[in-house]
Chains A and B, each alone.
Chain A
Amino acid sequence: MHPSSFEYFAPTKMKEALELLSKYGEEAKIMAGGQSLIPLLKLRIAAYSYIIDISRVEGLNKIRETGDFLEIGALTTVNELEENELVKEKYRILHEAAVQIADPLVRNRGTVGGNISHGDPSNDLPAVAIATKAKLEIVGKKGKRLVDADSFITDSFTTSLEEGEILGKILLPIPKVSSGGCYIKQKKSAGDFSVAAVAVNLVLAEDETIKSAGIGLTSVAPKPTRANKAERYIEGKKIYDSVAREAARIIVSEAEPSTDFYGSADYKRKVLGRIAEEAINLAFERGLVR
């Protein structure tokens, strides 16, 4: 299979990339690791006259803590993310999601920014960004702007990026002392997308009640989704079996799965209910241990 013809650019500066993007507008597509885009081009589901490969743009593959945030450059590969010592040690929810993305070969090319800005409701990092209440830094010709992870993906494969804009950084709040998170992904085979997956991030108060909850869902709606009602339900409570079970029931009611290759909508709800309960219990336990 061959993609249809295109003209190719590989800028090394963000400024150049933005200029090319505004010059060619909708006929151009940004490519980072290409692990989602190249298959689409090969299958001719997508075709563009201009491909702007930003993988050589300098300075966008760093992971570091600054101020209140862990800053991840959009061009950091998923492999770099999973091998990063700081991420392994302090950002378990992120690490857990990273090692479950596709397979090691794909993770060597695929990027954090691509995983998010592709807008695929089955991609794993958007749910983690939602659960951790992350912010995204978007770069455009006029400068930078910050958006909440929630409002970034607006529909299946659709983001709030405006013409001429590129996702530059992901900003994850540095975890509080007593907080716990996890990512549970149910898939049919190794390296596959999920039937359903759930990211839970809990901040505990001194009396072990939930001070703040973040719950993000993958593969069970047209876009990555925050389980708002379930978050409000568990906030202020201690997690007992009955609470986790009721929260999972609410999470399922907030999902809008559709029947497809990965299973019927009903099956996906059942899977989601089970992993959601498990994830809430696990995140709580991890919060207690710290």
Chain B
Amino acid sequence: MTVANEDGYDIRNILSQMREEYWQGLEEEESEAKEVLDCLVFTLGGERYAFETQYACEVIRIPKLIRVPAVQSVISGIFNLRGEITAAMDIRPMLGLSQPEIGATGRILVVKSEQFATGVICEAAHGVQALFLDSFEPAAGLSAARQQFIKGHFNEEEGSVILLDMEALLCSPEIMVGEV
């Protein structure tokens, strides 16, 4: 906030300016409220990805994963989520992404479908962010494999964020053991 008058401290001016800013802020909030999508944002294959928060249960550090014999490579293993045996999946190959090593920032995003809860391994999680829908572009010109699980992307200031089709991913036979 700047002081309008060099000569002194014009309290009226400052107050009216504050009032104006307050109303402006309210208007902005109102107009934006209709246009944002609350998403969990994270890094996969070096890129920023997101999905709607309604699918997210929790984000946890990666515990020890127990390998399961004779299952597809997307299932990295299982872990104990407070007594529930839960799968951890590396979905990067499904999206045609490279697989940089998962380091200390690596997390498991626990997501739920109607049928089961499962874990998605990511390189880093960036929390819930409100993404502006007017910057959203539907997916186009992607390879078939990618198109299947991607809805489109947001052109955010810090770069683009790709919106995953979590529902399609959770219904995919590729993640069901014994169906591929």
- Binding between chains A and B: no
